[in-house]
Protein backbone atom coordinates (compact mmCIF):
# COMPACT_ATOMS: atom_id res chain seq x y z
CA UNK A 1 0.00 0.00 0.00
CA UNK A 2 1.27 3.46 -0.88
CA UNK A 3 1.72 5.68 2.15
CA UNK A 4 3.32 9.10 2.25
CA UNK A 5 5.40 9.29 5.44
CA UNK A 6 6.69 12.80 6.13
CA UNK A 7 7.67 12.30 9.75
CA UNK A 8 11.12 12.45 11.22
CA UNK A 9 9.79 10.58 14.27
CA UNK A 10 11.83 7.56 15.32
CA UNK A 11 8.69 5.45 15.58
CA UNK A 12 7.89 3.26 12.61
CA UNK A 13 4.92 3.89 10.35
CA UNK A 14 3.24 0.74 11.64
CA UNK A 15 3.63 1.95 15.21
CA UNK A 16 2.09 5.33 14.39
CA UNK A 17 -0.85 3.71 12.63
CA UNK A 18 -1.36 1.44 15.63
CA UNK A 19 -1.18 4.42 17.99
CA UNK A 20 -3.82 6.28 15.94
CA UNK A 21 -6.07 3.23 15.95
CA UNK A 22 -5.85 2.86 19.73
CA UNK A 23 -6.36 6.57 20.39
CA UNK A 24 -9.38 6.92 18.10
CA UNK A 25 -10.96 3.76 19.51
CA UNK A 26 -10.61 5.01 23.08
CA UNK A 27 -12.03 8.42 22.24
CA UNK A 28 -15.26 6.92 20.92
CA UNK A 29 -15.90 5.75 24.47
CA UNK A 30 -15.74 9.39 25.56
CA UNK A 31 -18.63 10.22 23.20
CA UNK A 32 -20.74 7.54 24.86
CA UNK A 33 -19.64 8.49 28.39
CA UNK A 34 -20.60 12.11 27.80
CA UNK A 35 -23.96 11.25 26.22
CA UNK A 36 -23.13 12.75 22.82
CA UNK A 37 -24.26 9.88 20.56
CA UNK A 38 -27.04 7.33 20.16
CA UNK A 39 -26.94 3.86 18.59
CA UNK A 40 -24.09 3.84 16.01
CA UNK A 41 -24.30 7.54 15.08
CA UNK A 42 -21.35 9.88 15.41
CA UNK A 43 -17.67 9.37 14.72
CA UNK A 44 -14.12 10.33 15.58
CA UNK A 45 -11.17 10.39 13.19
CA UNK A 46 -7.51 11.16 13.67
CA UNK A 47 -4.52 11.76 11.44
CA UNK A 48 -1.68 9.28 11.43
CA UNK A 49 1.32 11.37 12.46
CA UNK A 50 3.63 12.31 9.60
CA UNK A 51 1.38 10.95 6.85
CA UNK A 52 -1.56 11.94 4.67
CA UNK A 53 -3.66 9.14 6.16
CA UNK A 54 -6.28 9.10 8.87
CA UNK A 55 -8.14 6.52 10.93
CA UNK A 56 -11.93 6.64 11.29
CA UNK A 57 -14.77 4.62 12.82
CA UNK A 58 -16.30 1.89 10.64
CA UNK A 59 -19.89 2.40 9.54
CA UNK A 60 -22.72 0.76 11.47
CA UNK A 61 -20.61 -0.84 14.19
CA UNK A 62 -21.84 -0.70 17.79
CA UNK A 63 -19.72 1.38 20.13
CA UNK A 64 -19.36 -1.68 22.38
CA UNK A 65 -17.79 -3.58 19.48
CA UNK A 66 -15.25 -0.97 18.43
CA UNK A 67 -11.63 -2.06 18.62
CA UNK A 68 -8.32 -0.78 17.19
CA UNK A 69 -8.28 -3.55 14.60
CA UNK A 70 -11.65 -2.59 13.09
CA UNK A 71 -10.89 1.10 12.71
CA UNK A 72 -10.60 1.95 9.01
CA UNK A 73 -7.39 3.44 7.61
CA UNK A 74 -8.00 5.96 4.82
CA UNK A 75 -5.95 8.00 2.39
CA UNK A 76 -6.34 11.77 2.51
CA UNK A 77 -9.02 11.61 -0.21
CA UNK A 78 -11.15 9.30 1.95
CA UNK A 79 -10.49 6.08 0.04
CA UNK A 80 -9.69 3.04 2.16
CA UNK A 81 -6.06 1.90 2.23
CA UNK A 82 -6.19 -1.44 0.42
CA UNK A 83 -5.32 -4.60 2.38
CA UNK A 84 -4.92 -2.66 5.63
CA UNK A 85 -6.36 -3.99 8.88
CA UNK A 86 -10.09 -3.25 8.95
CA UNK A 87 -10.25 -2.54 5.20
CA UNK A 88 -13.01 -5.12 4.75
CA UNK A 89 -15.37 -2.72 6.54
CA UNK A 90 -16.98 0.38 5.10
CA UNK A 91 -15.76 3.58 6.75
CA UNK A 92 -18.19 6.02 8.36
CA UNK A 93 -20.71 7.68 6.05
CA UNK A 94 -19.08 10.99 7.07
CA UNK A 95 -15.64 9.96 5.79
CA UNK A 96 -15.74 12.29 2.78
CA UNK A 97 -16.42 15.23 5.10
CA UNK A 98 -13.51 14.32 7.38
CA UNK A 99 -11.22 13.84 4.39
CA UNK A 100 -12.10 17.26 2.96
CA UNK A 101 -11.27 18.89 6.30
CA UNK A 102 -7.89 17.15 6.48
CA UNK A 103 -7.08 18.12 2.90
CA UNK A 104 -7.89 21.78 3.43
CA UNK A 105 -7.02 22.42 7.08
CA UNK A 106 -3.51 21.04 7.58
CA UNK A 107 -3.44 22.23 11.18
CA UNK A 108 -6.27 19.85 12.07
CA UNK A 109 -5.32 16.48 13.56
CA UNK A 110 -8.74 15.26 14.63
CA UNK A 111 -12.38 15.61 13.54
CA UNK A 112 -15.50 14.64 15.51
CA UNK A 113 -19.19 14.48 14.62
CA UNK A 114 -21.89 13.86 17.22
CA UNK A 115 -25.66 13.90 17.48
CA UNK A 116 -25.71 15.57 20.90
CA UNK A 117 -29.23 16.74 21.75
CA UNK A 118 -28.88 20.43 22.52
CA UNK A 119 -26.30 21.19 19.82
CA UNK A 120 -28.47 19.41 17.26
CA UNK A 121 -31.45 21.49 18.40
CA UNK A 122 -29.55 24.70 17.62
CA UNK A 123 -28.51 23.21 14.26
CA UNK A 124 -32.14 22.33 13.54
CA UNK A 125 -33.04 26.00 14.04
CA UNK A 126 -30.11 27.05 11.88
CA UNK A 127 -29.05 29.40 14.64
CA UNK A 128 -25.56 30.11 15.95
CA UNK A 129 -24.96 29.69 19.68
CA UNK A 130 -24.24 33.18 21.05
CA UNK A 131 -21.21 33.66 23.29
CA UNK A 132 -22.90 34.39 26.59
CA UNK A 133 -20.59 32.76 29.17
CA UNK A 134 -16.88 32.96 29.92
CA UNK A 135 -16.28 29.23 29.35
CA UNK A 136 -17.50 29.65 25.78
CA UNK A 137 -15.24 32.65 25.21
CA UNK A 138 -12.32 30.64 26.62
CA UNK A 139 -12.89 27.59 24.47
CA UNK A 140 -14.34 28.94 21.21
CA UNK A 141 -13.40 32.62 21.16
CA UNK A 142 -16.92 33.74 20.22
CA UNK A 143 -20.22 32.29 19.01
CA UNK A 144 -20.42 28.82 17.52
CA UNK A 145 -21.30 29.39 13.85
CA UNK A 146 -23.81 27.63 11.63
CA UNK A 147 -22.71 25.95 8.42
CA UNK A 148 -24.90 25.35 5.36
CA UNK A 149 -27.27 22.44 4.94
CA UNK A 150 -25.61 19.64 2.98
CA UNK A 151 -26.47 16.08 2.04
CA UNK A 152 -24.38 13.21 3.41
CA UNK A 153 -22.43 11.13 0.91
CA UNK A 154 -19.90 13.41 -0.78
CA UNK A 155 -17.63 16.21 0.37
CA UNK A 156 -20.42 18.81 0.59
CA UNK A 157 -20.46 18.70 4.39
CA UNK A 158 -16.69 18.99 4.49
CA UNK A 159 -16.82 22.01 2.22
CA UNK A 160 -19.35 23.64 4.52
CA UNK A 161 -17.21 22.93 7.57
CA UNK A 162 -14.07 24.39 6.02
CA UNK A 163 -15.80 27.44 4.54
CA UNK A 164 -17.45 28.21 7.88
CA UNK A 165 -14.45 27.65 10.16
CA UNK A 166 -11.76 29.15 7.94
CA UNK A 167 -10.72 32.40 9.62
CA UNK A 168 -12.97 31.68 12.61
CA UNK A 169 -11.65 31.00 16.13
CA UNK A 170 -14.33 28.42 16.85
CA UNK A 171 -13.32 24.77 16.68
CA UNK A 172 -16.96 23.83 16.24
CA UNK A 173 -19.60 24.33 13.58
CA UNK A 174 -23.30 23.48 13.63
CA UNK A 175 -24.17 22.11 10.21
CA UNK A 176 -27.72 23.28 9.55
CA UNK A 177 -30.35 20.57 9.92
CA UNK A 178 -27.65 18.06 10.84
CA UNK A 179 -25.51 18.64 13.91
CA UNK A 180 -22.13 19.61 15.32
CA UNK A 181 -18.70 18.91 13.86
CA UNK A 182 -15.59 19.81 15.81
CA UNK A 183 -11.91 19.96 14.91
CA UNK A 184 -8.75 19.97 16.97
CA UNK A 185 -4.99 19.78 16.76
CA UNK A 186 -5.41 16.21 18.04
CA UNK A 187 -8.38 13.84 18.09
CA UNK A 188 -8.63 14.31 21.86
CA UNK A 189 -8.74 18.08 21.40
CA UNK A 190 -11.62 17.66 18.93
CA UNK A 191 -13.49 15.39 21.36
CA UNK A 192 -13.07 17.95 24.13
CA UNK A 193 -14.56 20.58 21.82
CA UNK A 194 -17.52 18.26 21.13
CA UNK A 195 -18.15 17.86 24.87
CA UNK A 196 -17.92 21.63 25.38
CA UNK A 197 -20.27 22.36 22.46
CA UNK A 198 -23.02 20.31 24.04
CA UNK A 199 -22.40 21.92 27.43
CA UNK A 200 -22.70 25.49 26.15
CA UNK A 201 -25.61 24.59 23.85
CA UNK A 202 -27.52 23.28 26.87
CA UNK A 203 -26.66 26.32 28.99
CA UNK A 204 -27.70 28.76 26.26
CA UNK A 205 -30.95 26.86 25.71
CA UNK A 206 -31.94 27.02 29.37
CA UNK A 207 -30.88 30.66 29.64
CA UNK A 208 -33.22 31.50 26.75
CA UNK A 209 -36.12 29.80 28.53
CA UNK A 210 -35.78 32.34 31.34
CA UNK A 211 -35.77 35.38 29.05
CA UNK A 212 -33.55 37.31 26.71
CA UNK A 213 -29.79 36.73 26.71
CA UNK A 214 -26.97 39.16 26.08
CA UNK A 215 -23.69 38.12 24.44
CA UNK A 216 -20.46 39.05 26.14
CA UNK A 217 -18.74 42.19 24.89
CA UNK A 218 -16.29 41.49 22.03
CA UNK A 219 -13.36 42.98 23.95
CA UNK A 220 -14.12 40.73 26.94
CA UNK A 221 -14.30 37.68 24.65
CA UNK A 222 -10.91 38.58 23.16
CA UNK A 223 -9.32 38.94 26.60
CA UNK A 224 -10.80 35.71 27.89
CA UNK A 225 -9.80 33.75 24.80
CA UNK A 226 -6.24 35.06 24.85
CA UNK A 227 -5.82 34.32 28.54
CA UNK A 228 -7.20 30.81 28.30
CA UNK A 229 -5.37 29.84 25.12
CA UNK A 230 -2.01 31.47 25.83
CA UNK A 231 -1.65 32.10 29.56
CA UNK A 232 -3.96 29.99 31.73
CA UNK A 233 -2.50 26.66 30.62
CA UNK A 234 0.08 25.45 28.17
CA UNK A 235 -0.98 21.83 27.77
CA UNK A 236 -3.50 22.22 24.95
CA UNK A 237 -6.58 20.09 25.49
CA UNK A 238 -5.83 19.66 29.21
CA UNK A 239 -6.36 23.31 30.04
CA UNK A 240 -9.48 22.63 32.14
Query: Annotated active-site positions, please?
Result: 138, 232
* Dmax (CA) of the chain: 58
Taken in order 229, 234, 237, 240, is the CA torsion positive or negative? Answer: negative
Q: Where are the alpha helices (DSSP H) in the chain?
A: 13-33, 95-104, 117-125, 134-140, 156-165, 187-210, 218-227
Report d(CA 196, CA 184) in Å as an integer. 13
**Partners of 183 in the beta sheet?**
111
> Is residue 53 a contact partner of residue 73, using CB atoms and an 8 Å limit?
yes
Dist. CA 205–CA 13, nearest whole Å: 45
Task: Name the residue among 115, 88, 89 with its Cα closest to residue 174.
Answer: 115
49: left (phi over 0), alpha (psi -120 to 50) or beta: beta
- Determine the 3-state secondary structure of 38 from DSSP: coil
Close Cβ partners of 61 (under 8 Å, ≥ 6 residues apart)? 40, 70, 89
Amino acid sequence: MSMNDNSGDATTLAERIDQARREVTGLHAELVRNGLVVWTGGNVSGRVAGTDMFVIKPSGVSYDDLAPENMVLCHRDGTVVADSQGSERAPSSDTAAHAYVYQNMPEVGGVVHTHSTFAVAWAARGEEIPCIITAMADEFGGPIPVGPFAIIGDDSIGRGIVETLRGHRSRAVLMKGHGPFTVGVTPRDAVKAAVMVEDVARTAHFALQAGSIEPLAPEAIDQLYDRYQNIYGQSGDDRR
